[in-house]
Structure 1
């Protein structure tokens, strides 16, 4: 844990050093040299121009040739000066861009380091719950930290484990009971579907027997057939009634099981809500510990860092 704050302080210090750079220097010696050379040549031209007074025409022409030669030299040097200035400008822009890129890299390093550190801290403290969630069973053995914690956070971890282990054990028991009840309900539902199918089938057959006309081949009323049809209709009605009663009996079995399932859901919701509150409470504890550690080490998280869970969490009013 100590290493986290040490490394964070180093990264922030590196970032602050970049911010201390107010000006970016570039080598302008060549530009200054050419500018001075141009000044010297212009001074010579001015001297030559002043020296023309009182001279003969031929002498003036000679001076004019010298001046023209010097002006050409100035033009060439000015072109060279433009090139050097452009080169100096490009060099400056590259240095500025490189400086800004380095700042962005350091800023990103700080952000990533904070997020990674928060995840490592949270994984170490809440590892028992994540193990349970992943395996769908409660692990009651020793929970080995995946990240070294300081004394204060070890206390938070112990507090979290003691409560969460008990609640996860209860939750696991409830889920086991839910599976058992749902299995029973599924079996009852399958029986219900079968009994209702049989009820409908026999009821349909009873209706068919009731509608069947007991007549001979010639269309005369046949008392023997009528009696047989009546017996068949009553048999089907009795069978339909038997399966209907069996369905009612099975349905009666479902009621207490469903009530038990509803109670388990209330208990499960209460535990899950309690685990959520514990999570939030432990998050606050972690946040307070880290806040104190930052203060103790005089570490100020830079303003560019977005709101995070622990290191740069907003202050509660």
Structure 2
């Protein structure tokens, strides 16, 4: 009987060790990186929002720069911050072209956003990639430019919007404001105030250069305030919440349209074509910054206390 207990304990120990090794391989993909492999990535959606998923995908592609093919499996859901089109509809393929090199695949990685324990480009840690540290986004920029290409009709729309935004001015200042629902993502847990945004903008050279503003603002309340203070502005017709209390369109419990999905992405892509970005900590701001390494980062969120 005692010997049987020993065997049972050994068997259970073996199971735990096996699970630990498996978990380590999944959670730290860089450690088993093999540059001789030609992998295919199946990217499954993380429970968070659209741009958190995009950033996690780009993070994987930074870790695996020899990825030869990508299959998207990021599914829409009302409860997981991606309420676009309809339940369980794959949404990344509605934005991006299929990436596939003419090279035989010899292994497949089936990952989602939870498979990264060292993913820093999100939540409060993202602050460390802003301002004078934005050079750290260079690997993300290279991976993004290599692997993620808009569908042709969306690229045409973006090009047209960029030309309109940049016409008749010498510089464009992007002003990116999120609602109070994102307070927890700020290093101090507090959203920057309107006064802090305006103070940062007042320090910029808007006199020697003909300046236009692009306001990427979540809610009508803040949008109307900044619109009254800054001009001229480039306007888009994205849906906004009525106030900054967190009543965002994607939290309505209803599915948004394909056009809403496209507009959500295109507004951030458009933001990346500004010259200066005045912003808080956000997955959207992070994406805009690695899309264009020439975009100046002015983060008005306060750093965490040392």
* Structure ranking higher in strand proportion: 2
TM-score range, shorter chain: under 0.3
Which has a greater percent of helix? 1
TM-score (norm. length: structure 1):
0.21
Structure showing greater Rg: 1
The higher relative CO (CA closer than 8 Å, separation ≥ 6) is in 2
